Structure 1
Amino acid sequence: MSTGSIAVLIVAAGRGERAGDPGDGPKQYRRIGGDPVLAKTVRAFQSAGLTHILIAIHRDDGALFEEAMRTVAPLPSTVHGGATRQDSVRLGLEALAADAPDIVLIHDAARPFVDPDTIRRVVECVRRTGGGALPATAQTDTLKRAEVDGLVTATLPRSGLFCAQTPQGFPFGPILDAHRRALNEGKGDFTDDASIAEWSGLPVTLVAGSSDNVKLTLAADFVRARAADRKGLPMIDVRTGNGYDVHQLVTGDHVTLCGVRIAHDQALSGHSDADVGLHALTDALLATCGAGDIGDHFPPSDMQWRGAPSAIFVRRAVEIVAAAGGRIMNADITLICEAPKIAPHREAMRQAIATMTGLDLTRVSVKATTNETIGFVGRREGIAAIATASVVYGDGA
């Protein structure tokens, strides 16, 4: 869409009394999906290539506006609004008049879900007709007229009826003149700018609106909007990897488990220092990004790894995870053995793993259990380990 000389005037000076507890603040500054409504609205126009944006705000909302715009760039300009929406629009138009655009789009701050296609249709209509453009959706519900007590007095035909939305687009000069004339003639009861244009004789043409372009008015609207926003979020990419390792026990004087040397009447035989805990953790980390297993990266046939500390393998797995865009969230290792006793060494093991992985100690768990004298572990022929690692990838990392 060619933006030409287009300005966007966002009306954000209201108090939003119908949107729930006043203690929550004006509705345009409440949050949906972590972002203030007003920030979402501004970004909707910026994403359509429109950056000449003026926002009419309440004179008491300066701090709220600054906080809402912290993550918005470029930063829109502001003007103080008036007592009514009509006043705020007129004051905004007057502020734009010093450097008048060809077209102005007037939009409610509480419509944060306007899409670029709707904006484009409004602009193209103004250019084509030279008059106003009003996005709208056809009225589909049956309409009733009722008395104050709720008694229905008539059913109204819905054919040809439409629900008006914003942004409403106009050639700048005529809509400013219409607002000035309304002020001079004491006409202050218009509910939107299209109605002022119609009253002044400026033709207004309907263009297709969007069912998603809802106005947040009531507290229930915010509940629905927040639920819809959550559904639209990409799923957080959390991956869990598991690892298992076992090594034979032979005659010796120590074992190395989870990076800690422990005096013992047996030793573990196998790859490197045969640290089953760290081998299992290495496999768990590699599994989260489909990077094979420990044997792929450190083959037992390669003599350079004979007797090597297994911390080397864990650190390399951490590098591979980071290169894939992952952030390790926790590591959990269970050692399965009849001896030695693990409890006296558990904290040293946790600290060693925390150092290798860069994790906070609270995110590292080491547990131990026996095999109740059953099987090869129960006969003290070997030690096994099971490890689980959780890693967040992508934007969540």
Structure 2
Amino acid sequence: MRENPRVTALIVAAGRGSRAGPGAPKQYRQLAGEPVLRRTLTAFATHPGISSVLAVIHEDDRDAYEDAAAGLPKLMSPCPGGATRQASVKAGLEALAGMAPEYVLIHDGARPLVPARLITDCIATLADHVGALAAIALTDTIRRTTGKGCAGETVDRSGLWRAQTPQAFRFSAILDAHRRASGKDYTDDVAVACAAGIEVAMVEGDEDNIKITSAEDLKRAERILMRGGDTRTGTGFDVHRFGPGDHVWLCGVKVPHEFGLVGHSDADAGLHAVTDAILGAIGAGDIGQHFPPSDPKWKGASSDIFLAHAAKLAKEQGAAISNVDLTLICERPKIGPHVSAMRQRIADILALELARVSVKATTTEGLGFTGRGEGIAAQALATLVLR
């Protein structure tokens, strides 16, 4: 292998991913605070052996792609895909024909947990082989089923492997193979290569290199990301007194009330408490240090700005927000009718699934300043995992 071969990663991300359930295509779903595709792109864009990265996307997803890819190095302008995965790969290869990299690693956009070791091994294998396939040897007993859905004969598992991606090739060879395969339907790029007589070497894959297909796969991937991390917990507490007005802002939701809340920003005690909890978990001070009340810039500001900033700082430290638990303390207004909207707003700001956000309310049975109806208090706890 040449010391520094020109290697392009071709990320196939034009699918619609309907099995993941309603909503955005699976490659744009949130995984521990980031789109699945961003994690995939990052794995290749930050790998020292990769020279450039080209994503093949659906035309309808261009805005979502730009958001997911923002700020990453080595990215080329995305290429529109075709009606099938094979057509999308060929479109990507044709888009690369002018620059003609020496090697190309073809990878599923919905495999966000590909380890750097596997990328390195696939590149290294191309020094001696025209193609390389990341795969895992089968170890479980394999059986066929009977027509009645019962256990049938045992299948010899020797020599059987589960294929993954990357599937890596010398560029000119796989481009020629795809051109010759036009009009035929193959299951993956190794099948295209083998049909063209290309010998493909096996590379030991990785059990964590899963493909996101269903909602359960997203949960499994998140568990993998959290595994072995450093768990941190932060708390936040905030108070605002009532003043003139006809509504209050709580957790980003406008709640009608006979009073307003007094504060330099929008006085959203709920979001302030959650912001401080996240900042506390990463040792980043408190909300006042980042947004001083003495600064006129923040007068009347929407508090979702503060919470989004705290989430950004956490992400920059490699921390994923596991869950947020908030308690609002007041006699009035009644919080119950607005809890669902509050949870959803916090989840949206933090890019979390709804199940990871809790909002509760309680009173102090008429005791203290909240009991006398003088204001609102909020107490929050946030758990983060540093990977």
Structure 1 residues 328, 142: CA separation in 2 closer, same or farther (over 3 Å shift)? same
The letter of the residue matching 1:187 is: K
8 Å Cα contact 1:13-1:80 kept in structure 2: yes
In 2, Cα distance between equivalents of 1:2 and 1:69: 29
Alpha-carbon distance between aligned partners in 2 of 1:326 and 1:52, rounded to the nearest angstrom? 35
Asked whether the equivalents of residues 134 and 204 of structure 1 are also in contact (C-alpha less than 8 Å), the reply is: yes
Q: Distance in 2 between matches of 1:222 and 1:149?
A: 32
Query: Do residues 187 (structure 1) and 184 (structure 2) align?
Result: yes
Per-residue CA deviations over 1:130-185 (Å, capped at 9, x if unaligned) read 310111111122212235652444210111111111111100111011111110xx
In structure 2, what is the Cα distance between the partners aligned to 1:91 and 1:181? 14
* 1:121 alignment counterpart: 121
The equivalent residue for 1:102 is 102
Work out which of the residue numbers 212, 218, 222 in structure 2 matches 1:216.
Answer: 212
Q: 2:11 maps to what in 1? A: 10
- Distance change in 2, residues 1:239/1:51 (3 Å): farther
The corresponding residue for 1:64 is 64
Secondary structure of the residue aligned to 2:10 is: strand
Consecutive unaligned residues in structure 2, runs of 5 or more: 237-279, 295-302, 304-327, 329-366, 369-379
Alignment-mate amino acid for residue 184 of structure 2: K
Amino acid at match of 2:145: A
Partner Cα separation in structure 2 for residue 61 and residue 179 of structure 1: 25
> Contact (CA 8 Å) 1:125, 1:133: kept in 2 or not?
yes
8 Å Cα contact 1:326-1:391 kept in structure 2: no
Q: Distance in 2 between matches of 1:97 and 1:210?
A: 30
Q: What corresponds to 1:136 in structure 2?
A: 135
Q: Residues 326, 113 of structure 1: CA spacing in aligned structure 2 closer, same or farther, 3 A cutoff? A: closer
Q: 2:202 aligns with which of 194, 197, 206?
A: 206
Shift of 1:16: 0.8
Structure 2: distance between partners of 1:158 and 1:126: 27
Match of 1:90 in 2: 90
Amino acid at match of 1:58: H
Aligned equivalent of 1:327: 285
Contact 2:53–2:74, Cα closer than 8 Å, also in 1:
no
SS of structure 2 residue aligned to 1:94: helix
Structure-2 change in CA distance of 1:325 and 1:17 (3 Å): closer
Q: Which amino acid aligns with 1:6?
A: V
SS in 1 for 2:165: coil
SS of 1:112's partner is coil
Contact 2:45/2:75 (CA < 8 Å) preserved in 1? no
Cα pair distance change 1:169/1:326, threshold 3 Å = closer
**Residues 173/116 of structure 1: CA separation in 2 closer, same or farther (3 Å cut):** same
Match of 2:347 in 1: none
Using the TM superposition, give the Cα deviation of residue 233 of structure 1 relative to its aligned residue in structure 2, in angstroms: 4.6
Change in 2 beyond 3 A, CA 1:28/1:58: same
How many Å separate the matches in 2 of 1:113 and 1:43?
A: 10
Contact 1:327/1:391 (<8 A) preserved: no
Letter matched to residue 62 of structure 2: G
Task: Give a deviation string over 1:249-271, Cα, whole Å, max 9, x none.
Answer: xxxxxxxxxxxxxxxxxxxxxxx
Q: For the structure 1 residues 193 and 167, does the alpha-carbon distance in structure 2 shift closer, same or farther, using more than 3 Å as the test?
A: same
Deviation at 1:220, TM superposition (A): 1.3
For residue 120 of structure 1, what is the amino acid of its counterpart?
T
The residue identity in structure 2 corresponding to 1:236 is R
Find the counterpart in structure 1 of residue 311 from structure 2: none
TM-superposition CA deviations, 1:29-59 (whole Å, max 9, x none)? 0010110000000101122122411111012
Aligned-pair CA distance for 1:71: 4.5
Q: CA deviation at 1:236?
A: 3.0
Structure 1 letter corresponding to 2:190: A
Structure-2 residue corresponding to 1:79: 79
Q: After TM superposition, which residue ranges in structure 1, 4 or more long, deviate above 6 angstroms?
A: none
Query: Aligned-pair RMSD on alpha carbons?
Result: 3.8
- Contact preservation (8 Å) 2:41, 2:69: no
| AA in 1 matched with 2:161 | F
Quick one: structure 1 residues 130 and 227, their matched pair in 2 at CA, closer, same or farther if it must change by over 3 Å?
closer
What amino acid is the match of 1:66?
Answer: E
Contact 2:122/2:132 (<8 A) preserved: yes
Q: Aligned pair 1:196/2:154, yes or no?
A: no
Structure with bigger gyration radius = 1
**Aligned with 2:133: secondary structure?**
strand
Q: Against the structure 1 CA distance between its residues 217 and 391, is the aligned structure 2 distance closer, same or farther, given a 3 Å change threshold?
A: closer
Secondary structure in 2 matching 1:28: helix
Indicate the larger mover: 50-59 or 110-119.
50-59
Which residue is equivalent to 1:150? 149
Change (3 A) 1:64 1:325: closer
Give how far 1:391 is off: 12
**Aligned pairs, how many?**
263
Q: Take 1:148 and 1:99, find their aligned partners in 2: how far apart are those partners? A: 52
Please state how far the C-alpha of 1:329 moved relative to its aligned partner: 6.5
Query: Deviation string for 1:307-365 (max 9, x for gaps)?
Result: xxxxxxxxxxxxxxx9x9641479xxxxxxxxxxxxxxxxxxxxxxx99xxxx9xx9xx
3-state secondary structure, aligned to 1:166 = strand
CA distance in 2, matches of 1:165, 1:395: 28
Secondary structure at the counterpart of residue 167 of structure 1: strand
Given the superposition, is the C-alpha separation of residues 155 and 74 from structure 1 closer, same or farther in structure 2, using an over 3 Å criterion?
A: same
Change in Cα spacing, 1:140 to 1:169, as seen in structure 2 (3 Å) is same
**Partner in structure 2 of residue 170 of structure 1:** 169
Secondary structure of the corresponding residue to residue 40 of structure 2: helix
Decide whether the 8 Å contact of 1:37 with 1:112 is kept in 2.
Answer: yes
